[in-house]
Amino acid sequence: MSLPKIVHQLVKVLGYDDAIIIVSRWGGTRVFVPYGMTDVSQSQLTQVLGVERVRAISQALGGGSLDIPLCAQLLLSQRNTEILDRHESGEPISDLALRFRMTERTIYRILREARDERNSGL
């Protein structure tokens, strides 16, 4: 799965987990990154990532507006992998349905598709 250029840049600056936090929270919108030593404490990003990470983004990508892509397929794939991992660790289907706010039938479908995909790769 190919990531958009801006997401690659965010991964390089922040690491994968923090880049995914940005995509999952602000995907499909434009976020403001304060430039340089501007007071970053009021930034939406700072409230989630902290001052040092926002400064790292500003230094690497410059300040101003960043258009954050949705990356819907990536987030969906991540969610499904998490469901499979939790189930394989013993979490009951009913708990997964409540945690991910979906029906048990949907959880079963996701698990079946994930297993089929995993087995087809063998």
| Phi and psi torsions of 83, nearest 5° | -60, -45
| Structure confidence at residue 43 (pLDDT) | 80
pLDDT tens for 80-115 read 999 999 999 999 999 999 999 999 999 999 999 988
Q: Where are the domains of the chain?
A: 5-70, 73-120
Confirm whether pTM is higher than 0.95: no
Reported as a single tens digit per residue, the pLDDT across 25-53 is 999 999 998 886 566 677 888 889 998 99
pLDDT at residue number 120: 81
Residue 18 has pLDDT above 90, yes or no: yes
Separation between Cα atoms, residue 118 and residue 62, nearest integer Å: 40
